[in-house]
Amino acid sequence: MKKLFALGFTAVLFLAGAVTSASAAIQGDYVEVRSEDIFTGPCFANSELNLEGKQAMMAWRVNQGSFNGVDLSGLGIVAVVSANATLGDEFRNPYPAKSVLIVDERANGAQRAALQAFAKSMGGALLDHVVRVDSAPIKLAMGEMHGSVTLTAGKLAHISTRGMCSGDHICGNETVYYPPLAKLAHSMPAFTLEEGFNGKGLGEVWSRADTRSAFVGSFSL
């Protein structure tokens, strides 16, 4: 059994994330996965530039709160992105990026519109060009171990992560090489056990496993 790698700030981040300001209008959980390692060293990152890292998935689950005056408590939304360059590379422009939004099928009309507006506000320019909006049953479950998350959006998208372990270090120079794509209150890198997108709109689908490509976190606005 691998010995869990102790990121010194992990426990602090999640304890802090559990305490939400009473003034927060909306708060919840987040998971992100990329088609590149985000916890890596310069040698690996440089070898992937403009070859990998052009796809990403971002998922939000609203634990409580409202956006644009609409209660979104308990609902989720997933954004799937296909960009023109490696996301996070400061020397190349990934825009315009195409995106597909998957909205929680339990949402009513007003909630669907508010969820989409919320995701666009969190994702910024990455979600400026939405080419398709689907609906599906969305479940985002945080595991008992830090970094453990399971996301399903019907048959369209899925993510499964675990916490980073000592065996995930390869070159010894690893760091959080790229920041998260969305605005977050707290975040930590995680290991992607598997992830995939099987929807329409982007002209591509994918399935990947065993990469150091995920972020797990929380948001509070």
pLDDT exceeds 90 at position 154: yes
- pLDDT band of 159, cuts 50, 70, 90: very high
pLDDT at position 1 is: 43
Residues 6+ apart with CB under 8 A from 8: none
Identity of the highest mean pLDDT range in 41-45, 68-72, 85-89: 68-72
pLDDT at position 91 is: 74
Comparison of pLDDT for 137 and 167, the residue scoring more: 137
Rounded CA separation 51/35 (Å): 10
Helices first, then strands: H and E counts in the chain: 3, 13
pTM to 2 decimal places: 0.85
CA torsion angle for 114, 149, 12, 23 (degrees, to 10)? 20
pLDDT exceeds 90 at position 41: no
pLDDT at position 46 is: 56
Give the pair of three-digit tokens for residue 197: 């997108």
- pLDDT band of 74, cuts 50, 70, 90: very high
- DSSP state, residue 53: -
Nearest to 75 by CA among 137, 165, 21: 137
pLDDT at position 18 is: 44
Burial bucket for residue 194 (CB in 10 Å: 0-12, 13-18, 19+): middle
pLDDT at position 187 is: 95
8 A C-beta contact, residue 74 and residue 33 = no
Give the pair of three-digit tokens for residue 53: 């890292």
